[in-house]
Structure 1
Amino acid sequence: MKKRMHQIELFMKYPHEVQDELLIKLLHTAKKTEFGLNYDFKNIKNVEQYRAAVPVRTYESLYPYIERRMKGEQNLLWPTDVKWFAKSSGTTNARSKFIPVSNEALEECHFKGGKDLISIYVNNYPDSKMFSGKGLAIGGSHQVNEMDPKANSYYGDVSAVIMKNLPLWAQLIRTPSLDVALMDNWEEKIEKMAQSTLNENVTSISGVPTWTILLLQRLMEMKGVKDMTEIWPNLEVFFHGAVSFTPYRQLFKQLIPSTGMRYVETYNASEGFFGIQDQKDSDELLLMLDYGIYYEFIPHKEIQEENPRALGLNEVKTGEIYAMLITTNSGLWRYSIGDTIKFTSLNPYRIKIAGRTKHFINAFGEELVVENAETAITKACKETDALIDNFTAAPIHFTDKSEGGHEWVIEFKKEPNDLSKFTQILDETLRLVNSDYDAKRYKDMALKMPIVHMATCGTFYQWMKNRGKLGGQNKVPRLANTREYIDDILDIMKK
């Protein structure tokens, strides 16, 4: 672990050299693949030539290669055999994405990220006792790829792909057993996980906050206790990711009221492991630069352009929002992953996740992003003594009978003591953190006061279940520029 901390310090000190060298290595490795031959990788010597030769890619533009690989062809995007695909919800779109995961990506990215997470944690907390017990991992499921005639490839949630391929030593210190951890029926899985971990000495948890809450509540119900300290007294850390932890922090403090409990954020997606919270007192994420991933960034205002400008690490600024492009050791070339981030530090490079490129509201020029929404929700909860479970928001479009505005559906674990005050603080905070929203709210000229609906307990769970999106890394879209999600949820609320 100490040796690895030294290596991390090296890429923090020499970020551009590490990234430039990595890009050339990736291009050299893949120069004889079909994609590499199509774009003449062997003659690309620097990032400028790479950007000129290879256009920005979406999943749709890479899918013909991925589909052929899923049907059994090899050496298309990456030269080594690819036997695993991370089935990504990405958003809650009905159409799933299948992201290739090479052996190099498993070893040099996902596994390395997991080991680095532990190394950084122990480096920050040398008194940690997490190795005296077991780590509980809340993951997804996997299955055989039926498109492959030889049936020698598989797909599943990235968490399931990782768990299925973990080395023996890692399997021995985790819980529950793989047959339970990889179950695909989420309701049965929660029950089995609760039963099999109830009497374990769990010292760490890793997973998505929303699904972790369901498991903890079921455990407390089974034991008839008020909080988790009575079940897992040695629990000391929750490694979380996939969604912002900010709206859930107070609820976790109620579920685990231990002064020694710690929370560490990760940025681990189907496409790769990107960031780790490396400081005790800050929720910024250190961008991990030696995982076989080369990074580029598109300014937020240019995301929708046909030929957007891509910037390297040496060109980004703090405070600006960027869409992230990645080139990886699984054969994703200048691939837009659909996430937006902003840099909080340039020495070293630290980031915060701002949201999804498709998760925003800009029906009236307000450019509301997920980060704005989560900041405002958290402030409103704090001021009205509320605890949140889930939320989503969408625009109310101008009609002959109504003005434009935003409509929110929020499911609370603890309802606000005053809903009108909650709505007012939500609106005021949005105006404070987003000048475009504030301008549109001026004298209700373009945007009226937001409308907030309180959903009954289980509404979002039922909506996700109806869409076949329970568990794993599936998550509720916080913001949408259309009403497709919110109208579905409002229909459930009427029934």
Structure 2
Amino acid sequence: MSVKAFLSKYVAALAVAKTKKWASQPVVTQQRTFEKLIRRAANTQFGTDHRFSEIRSHADFVARVPIRDYEALKPYVDRVVAGTPDVLWPGKPRYFAKTSGTTSGAKYIPITNESMPFHIQAARDAILHYIHETGDTKVVDGKMIFLQGSPILEEKNGIQLGRLSGIVAHYVPKYLQKNRLPSWETNCIDDWETKVDAIVEETIKEDLSIISGIPSWVQMYFERLQEKSGKAVGELFPNFNLFIYGGVNYEPYRKKFEQLIGRKVNSIELFPASEGFFAYADSQQEEGMLLLLNSGIFYEFIPADRFFEENPPRLTVGEVELGVNYVLILSTNAGLWAYNIGDTIRFTSLSPYRLVVTGRIKHFISAFGEHVIGKEVEEALRTALTDSEAVVSEFTVAPQVAPDSGLPYHEWFIEFEQEPEDLESFALAIDIALRKQNSYYDDLISGSVLQVLKISVVPKNGFQEYMKSQGKLGGQNKLPRLSNDRKIADFLTRLL
């Protein structure tokens, strides 16, 4: 055992003990975080406008601070971007994480001196929890690759800005620098396809033990490795034992990954975003990710089925229940207040608090009142794949409201690595699994309002073509699992 591996067990034990301390008193931990946030921001412009000095309780906060998404918070953010200090948080941000916007174009998410360390600490602690539970210290001795955005940062009014993954690249600990791939020069390549080819050249003869990235883009990397070497990824990297991912659900990709790797590997799911690092899988045995209650973020939870009410309930961590779909609301030490990040979650455990991401509050299908969410379509596909030889590369779902003939239906666009022998039977298996999860959808099928879903087979690399057309190939960009319109569907239909 190397010195690094030996020390990792000791450091892992310390990290786990520290986690257990705050996780064992969740309500107290969150109350302390809440009070500290309100106190620190009381004299900012936002704090003055919302009378933070008068806030004594969560009820006071709810009465003074409405739920906002980025568009609603933008007037304050614009002042921060212009270089004005003390707007949302004392002083100026250290960085802006630049993300793709919707109606307002690019979004600039502030990252402060207080919030930045938690992005790094959470990623480190996820690996340390894995080492502590499994005893696998070999992962720290091999090379590690992180598929991420370019670390080249721009500057806006004296504040550096870039993609979150590129910002984080500047904080890789010194003891990991020799193990980390790809090289700085390769990481700076902006074009994703060129970058992946360069990463393949750079890593194909290395001894990788940890590979990290969004599953869809890691899959592209694995396919290029296999094309060049003619070998399975697990054969190229015999010590590759840990896949770290976030951003999208791994399950739809798992079968394809195991085929590309040639064996099963352990995995750690992360829940990071530009707005904060919210959770990570702290156990290989338990479902869900540990909610980080001690990371400078105060959480509120709104039941998803009540989110669009005029005054929906805003619950704190001590008020949530198992199995309910919640919209995640944040107040952070980067100056986001009652901020709707857009993600929906469901708790799998309340001791400690573990959750799974169920989708996006804006990404759903309810063209007929069914309100089908991302988690339901992913679970339906996973169920159908269990008894099928099919292998799926990528998929998305959209409503077909006005078909040429017959009843409307949900149209599933699927890119197969290996198609099922009977496409109609496969579609029916997905449909049955979806009906079991969603009673509204079941009622529409049984009531002859909708017909059984239909599958449109997307040609190879069709989804990559779509993402490229949107300027979102690679990096942290993710394909929506489902849409309530036909924008993505219309592009893919032209490829059929």
Compute the TM-score of the two structures, normalised by the length of structure 1.
Answer: 0.94
Query: For 2:17, what is the secondary structure of its paired residue?
Result: helix
How many residues align? The count is: 485
- Which residue of 2 is the match for residue 322 of structure 1? 326
RMSD, aligned CA: 1.8
Q: Does 1:141 align with 2:145?
A: no
User: Which shows bigger deviation, 197-206 or 368-377?
Assistant: 197-206
Runs of 4+ in 1 over 6 A off after TM superposition: none
1:239 lines up with 2:250 in the alignment: no
Indicate yes or no: 2:461 matched with 1:455.
Answer: no
Which residue type is aligned with residue 160 of structure 2?
Y
Query: Residue 67 of structure 2 is aligned with which of 56, 59, 68?
Result: 56
Q: Which residue of 1 aligns with 2:41?
A: 30
CA distance in 2, matches of 1:90, 1:471: 16
Q: Is the 8 A contact 1:137 1:181 kept in 2?
A: no
Q: Deviations over 1:138-182 (max 9, x none)?
A: 001255546x34xx3232221111112334334333111123223
- Would you say the 8 A contact 2:192–2:473 is kept in 1? yes
Taking the aligned partners of 2:463 and 2:389, their CA distance within structure 1 comes to 21
Question: CA-to-partner distance for each residue in 1:329-367, whole Å, 9 max, x for gaps?
Answer: 100101000000011111111111110001111111211
Cα deviation code 1:267-315 (max 9, x no counterpart):
1112111111122223411111111111000111122223322111111
Q: Aligned-pair distance for 1:398? A: 4.9
For residue 164 of structure 2, what is the aligned residue in structure 1? 158
The answer as to whether partners of 2:301 and 2:328 remain within 8 angstroms in 1 is yes
C-alpha separation between the residues in 2 aligned to 1:196 and 1:25?
Answer: 46
| Partner amino acid, structure 1, of 2:361 | T
Q: In structure 2, give the amino acid aligned to 1:100.
A: P
1:183 corresponds to: 189
Say if 2:410 is the partner of 1:410: no
Among 83, 94, 98, the alignment partner of 2:94 is 83
Using a 3 Å threshold, how does the CA distance of structure 1 residues 400 and 193 change in structure 2: closer, same or farther?
Answer: closer
Q: Secondary structure at the match of 2:475?
A: coil
Instruction: Determine the structure 2 residue equivalent to 1:40.
Output: 51
Task: Tell me the distance in 1 between the aligned counterparts of 2:143 and 2:86.
Answer: 39
Q: Are the counterparts in 2 of residues 265 and 283 from structure 1 also a CA contact under 8 Å?
A: no
Is 1:286–1:350's contact at 8 Å kept on the other side of the alignment? yes
How far apart, CA to CA, are the structure 2 residues paired with 1:56 and 1:433?
29
Letter in 2 for 1:161: I
CA contact (8 A) 2:297 2:332 kept: yes
Q: Percent identity?
A: 37
User: Which residue is 1:113 aligned to?
Assistant: 122
* Structure 1 stretch displaced more, 470-479 or 153-162: 153-162
Give the aligned residue type for 1:414.
Q
Taking the aligned partners of 1:263 and 1:400, their CA distance within structure 2 comes to: 44
Q: Give how far 1:90 is off.
A: 7.2
Aligned to 2:107: 97
**How far off its partner does 1:94 sit?**
8.8
**CA shift at 1:477, angstroms?**
0.6
Give a deviation string over 1:212-260, Cα, whole Å, max 9, x none.
01111111222222x012211111100111000011111111122235x
Other-structure match for 1:476 = 479
- 2:204 counterpart letter in structure 1: L
Residue range with higher mean Cα deviation, 460-469 or 194-203: 194-203
* Aligned amino acid, residue 149 of structure 2: G
Query: In the superposition, relative to structure 1, how do residues 112 and 223 fare at CA in structure 2: closer, same or farther (>3 Å)?
Result: same
Aligned to 1:270: 274
Distance, in Å, in 2 between the alignment partners of 1:143 and 1:132 is 28
- Once the two structures are TM-superposed, the CA of residue 96 in structure 1 deviates from its matched residue by 3.2
In 1, Cα distance between equivalents of 2:353 and 2:446: 37
Aligned equivalent of 2:387: 383
Aligned partner letter, 1:241: G
Matching residue within 138, 154, 161 for 1:129? 138
**Paired letter, 1:354:** T
1:204 corresponds in structure 2 to: 210
Q: Note if contact 1:87-1:155 (Cα within 8 Å) is conserved in structure 2.
A: yes
- The answer to whether the Cα contact below 8 Å between 1:134 and 1:201 also exists between their aligned partners in 2 is yes
Partner residue, 2:6: none
1:97 alignment partner AA: K
Task: Between 336-345 and 154-163, report the one with greater CA deviation.
Answer: 154-163
Matches within 5 A, 1:244-393: 244-258=249-263, 261-393=265-397
Runs of 5+ in structure 2 lacking a partner?
1-11
Given that 1:112 and 1:291 are in contact with CA atoms closer than 8 Å, whether structure 2 keeps it comes out as no
Q: Distance in 1 between matches of 2:55 and 2:104?
A: 38
Deviates more, 1:270-279 or 1:176-185: 176-185
**Structure 1 regions of 5+ residues with no counterpart?**
none
CA, structure 1 residues 351+73, in 2 after alignment: closer, same or farther (shift >3 Å)? same
* 8 Å CA contact 2:363, 2:482 repeated in 1: yes
Q: What SS class does the counterpart of residue 252 from structure 2 fall into? A: helix
Maintained 8 Å contact 1:139/1:182: no
Q: When the two structures are superposed, what TM-score results if normalisation uses the length of structure 2?
A: 0.94
Separation in 1, partners of 2:286, 2:377: 20
Q: Give the direction of change, closer, same or farther, for the CA distance of 1:134–1:329 in structure 2 (3 Å limit).
A: same
2:8 alignment partner in structure 1 = none
What are the Cα deviations for residues 31-72 of structure 1, in whole angstroms up to 9, with x where unaligned? 121111111212212211111111111101111222222222
Taking structure 1 as reference, are residues 7 and 243 closer, same or farther at Cα in structure 2, changes over 3 Å only? Answer: same
* Alignment pair present for 1:395 and 2:406: no
